[in-house]
Structure 1
Amino acid sequence: MTTAEAHGRALAAVRPSERQLSWQAMEFYGFVHFGMNTMTDREWGEGHDDPAAFDPAGLDADQWVTALKSAGTTGVILTCKHHDGFCLWPSDVTTHSVASSPWRGGKGDVVAEVADAARRHGLRFGIYLSPWDRTEASYGSGTAYDDFYVAQLTELLTRYGPVFSVWLDGANGEGPNGKVQVYDWDRYYAVVRELQPDAVISVCGPDVRWCGNEAGDTRPDEWSVVPRALQDAERTADRSQKADDGAFARLVRSDDRDLGSRVALAGHEDDLVWYPAEVNTSIRPGWFHHPAEDAAIRSVDELFTVYLRAVGGNSCFLLNVPPARDGRMRDIDVAVLDRLGRRIEDFRARRIEATATVSSGTPGDIATAWPGRGRTPWRPDDTDPLPAVTLAFAGPRPVEAVVLGEDITQGQRIEHVVVRGRRDGRWTTLAEANAVGYQRILTFPPAEVDTVLAEVTEARDTPVVARVAAIGAAS
């Protein structure tokens, strides 16, 4: 075995956990930013707001969940507490919560209503609990605040059923003269692992990596195997939002574009982790609802493009849709979600029936394993010099995309793939890419072909392919 082969096998040996596998298969889920900021028309509240301001008379969690589900989402994450410190559940460790508000006569619990609605409609439920708290007096005191935060985390993880994600961000605008709280991340993680072992811990956590921006931008190639240093929560916090200036939501950094190629991993071979990416953005300029932004909803075309690049770029897509002050999502947001869902369904429905042949071994069910996941992935012979899958159609068809996926239970192995199409006996290159991972959707100008060929030209180890599908052009 050559040094390069040994290196490749070492990279391919890094594997996801069961919770990461379950999370990756969700593909697309919703974020709901709602709370005191909704009432005060702020993005970052300053804390100490009068709980009397929270009184969303028309709050309808079923409307939120059904709207998100119409877009094709599989789960919903709620901002149970944002940076201002106001809790959407009756916490036992603070009075700064819905229990002190007039909403539902002080007997309400937004977290319970959303968790219950999610279960009713078949979506998984997740929580956001801001580590930064601008109301709690113990913030900045060290262990006393950690005790407070762990108490709130425990309440959320024990009262509302299964949780698929605990979303911890690194935003903090205290500034150089503000309070400094050194979070006990390891303690927080241990609480999640004990109380919700199936939940992924996202962003400032060890399971799911922030893509690095809030604009919905995606890397040309997204790798799940990266240096362990990227799991450092303080590194993530350092790159997170520092000021409530509105610019960060559309900021895209030009660095860190390659996190996991062989070149990027050189020197880190002995300290690698499986740390897949999540792409998060909002349907509006802000994360909370602001009446002034009712005419600034992102278009279906733009959101569908983000969806294709995220879900089709070895990432998951987290889309925020904020309810308004009355407790309902605005009709324009709901309409865009519905149209987005129809667009996604139409794309999936255009999968072309094909006969799959392979360069070696047996094809399994890779040609029919999308949407979803097949039970019999294809593994070519270890000696196959150019592993390839051929999809033959009944006749010429206009094709505009090819979906590829690896069986990531065996790691991320493909390092370069070329997709070609044949018409009248002549082959034309349609698309190519480096990273594939869980799923890669390669789009290109419509081409009429009778056969599609996907060739793995470079790999870290023998590739294990879960799906190959051709998508017909829209009529």
Structure 2
Amino acid sequence: MKSLFSCLFILLSFICIDTFTLFAQPAPEPCGPLPNERQIKWYNDEIIAFFHFGINTFENNVNEGDGRAGTFIFNPTALDCRQWTGTLKSAGIPAGILVAKHADGFCNWPSAYTDYCVKNSPWRNGKGNLVKEYAEACRADSIGMGLYLGPHDRHEHLSPLYTKQRYEDYYANQLTELLTDYGPVYEIWWDGAGADELTISMYTRWYNIVRRLQPECVIFGTRNSYCFADVRWVGNESGIAGNPCWSTINPESIRDENDNRITLNHGEVNGSAYIPAESDVSIRPSWFYHSYEDKDVKTVKQLWDIYCNSVGHNSVMLLNFAPDRRGLVPAQDSINAAGLRKMIDDTFGNNLLTGASVKSLHQRGKQYAPKNLIDNLSKTYYASKDSNMTDSIVFDLKSPVTFDCLMLQEVIQLGHRTTRWSVDYSVDGKKWEKIPETENLQSIGHKWIVRFDPLKAKKVRLCILDGKACPALHTFGIYKQAILP
């Protein structure tokens, strides 16, 4: 009898241990470089707007002014920044970056440090302040207000008094103006065009100004400012992130962006710093408005393709709008941007895996159940046991469905973990076939989208094939793409 009780005690002990393992597993340990809070919010916003508007708008066929245009040509006749932010609201874009000063050096605010600005233009009788009007419109419509302050300044270079030290002071003063006088700044954009002579020492000073005055501000960096950047250039102006596209890079190795476009586009799986890619693209062929491009506004289909290859490639889409000489976003540009938002919502608003039964090989514990992948909750996720860097998760639907798109999200707060994955499907639950477009996929990150010809399946299998740590996955879904307008 004593022996029997001993056996029962041992058995119950194992059951308790196994139950504890199932129900009370700690969270997975983070892996590699991790995002900061600014980067997490930036990722969740998914699409940001650019507004290129300035003295270039009033020159003919100019996108890169030489700093010689007279201030008298800047005179929008109906400028309305609420119309700009209204465009963003209808497109579901939560933040926008105004070009406060492009490389031509003309300032869209009455800077105390130069005459080459709006105070010497006829607009608003020299009393106008575009940055102020834009900031007020953003506040009124709850839009994050970002600013592009071009580090390179061709107008200042024209001065016989120009030196790097004088310009470092000049830029520091203007940066302080913009970060002090207009409220919270969502993102500051440091373009790399023409900025070859700007040193790490100069950026160190400017970085400290940003962090002191706007600690929550995201910094877009290039060239010698990558070591201070929250986000990086994607390596092209087409809005296309690479496959793979890792959020990590080795910033100390990137000096010449033209020689490092592939690295910027794909990132580096073992990069030393978490600096994800921001994919910039204009809704028109040019960055500034030209009337002859009215027929060339990107269609909803083109924007959808860009979204799936930027946001859907672990990046953020930076979509440029070019207000015209009236100071208004052209109607077709606004309509097409709103069409993109409808396409996104109509497609990803219906996860066809909702209601499926889900099983995995290596569930970490009840808190990290595979069902979390389809529960549509922001704080839950699926994770495997620490010892398992591979896994197989099967979704069993009640009846076959037709789909042509899938989306997978990693828990980015825990770093890049999975490094190879694919997806299989089955009509009868016995014979499995791989979705060809998922062959050899590597990165996941914030969001990865794959599109393909329509398939019909009753079961879908997510295969985690390799990784640096156990998988930690936020959401998985299959979808039918909405009908394009």
**Bucket of the pairwise TM-score, normalised by the shorter protein:** 0.7 to 0.9
Is 1:24 aligned to residue 43 of structure 2? yes
Q: What amino acid is the match of 1:14?
A: P
> What is aligned with 1:350?
350
> What is aligned with 1:368?
375
CA positional deviation for 1:138: 7.5
Mapping for residues 100-119 of structure 1, pairs under 5 Å: 100-119=120-139
**Matches of 2:142 and 2:282, distance apart in 1:** 23
**Matches of 1:282 and 1:89, distance apart in 2:** 24
Q: What amino acid is the match of 2:176?
A: T
**Matches of 2:452 and 2:475, distance apart in 1:** 19
> What is aligned with 1:97?
117
Whether the 8 Å contact between 1:138 and 1:145 is mirrored in structure 2 is: no
Whether the 8 Å contact between 1:11 and 1:460 is mirrored in structure 2 is: no
**Matches of 2:393 and 2:139, distance apart in 1:** 40
Q: Any idea what SS the aligned residue of 1:294 has?
A: helix
Whether the 8 Å contact between 1:221 and 1:258 is mirrored in structure 2 is: yes
**Matches of 2:277 and 2:266, distance apart in 1:** 13
Q: Could you tell me the TM-score, scaled by structure 2's length?
A: 0.84
Which runs of no fewer than 5 residues in structure 2 stay unpaired? Answer: 1-27
Larger helix proportion of the pair: 2
Q: Any idea what SS the aligned residue of 2:303 has?
A: helix
> What is aligned with 2:24?
none
Mapping for residues 201-220 of structure 1, pairs under 5 Å: 201-204=219-222, 205=225, 206-220=229-243
**Matches of 1:229 and 1:255, distance apart in 2:** 12
Mapping for residues 320-469 of structure 1, pairs under 5 Å: 320-352=320-352, 353-355=354-356, 356-359=358-361, 360-361=363-364, 362-363=369-370, 365-369=372-376, 374-384=378-388, 386-425=390-429, 426-430=431-435, 431-432=438-439, 433-469=441-477
Distance 1:322 1:48, change over 3 A: same
> What is aligned with 2:55?
36
Q: Deviations over 1:365-395 (max 9, x none)?
A: 32133xxx62022111123463233333332
Q: Deviations over 1:388-410 (max 9, x none)?
A: 33333332111111111111111
Runs of 4+ in 1 over 4 A off after TM superposition: 180-183, 253-258
Q: Could you tell me the TM-score, scaled by structure 1's length?
A: 0.86
Whether the 8 Å contact between 2:424 and 2:434 is mirrored in structure 1 is: yes
> What is aligned with 1:192?
210
Cα root mean square deviation, aligned: 2.3
Whether the 8 Å contact between 1:67 and 1:334 is mirrored in structure 2 is: yes
> What is aligned with 1:171?
193
**Matches of 2:186 and 2:464, distance apart in 1:** 34
**Matches of 2:267 and 2:198, distance apart in 1:** 29
**Matches of 2:320 and 2:245, distance apart in 1:** 22
**Matches of 1:134 and 1:78, distance apart in 2:** 19
Whether the 8 Å contact between 2:101 and 2:107 is mirrored in structure 1 is: yes
- Count of aligned pairs: 436
Is 1:59 aligned to residue 60 of structure 2? no
Among 155, 176, 190, the residue aligned to 1:135 = 155
Distance 1:256 1:288, change over 3 A: closer
Q: Deviations over 1:394-440 (max 9, x none)?
A: 32111111111111111111101111122122322122411101111
> What is aligned with 2:10?
none
CA positional deviation for 1:182: 4.5
**Matches of 2:71 and 2:114, distance apart in 1:** 12
Among 24, 28, 34, the residue aligned to 1:15 = 34
**Matches of 1:65 and 1:256, distance apart in 2:** 30
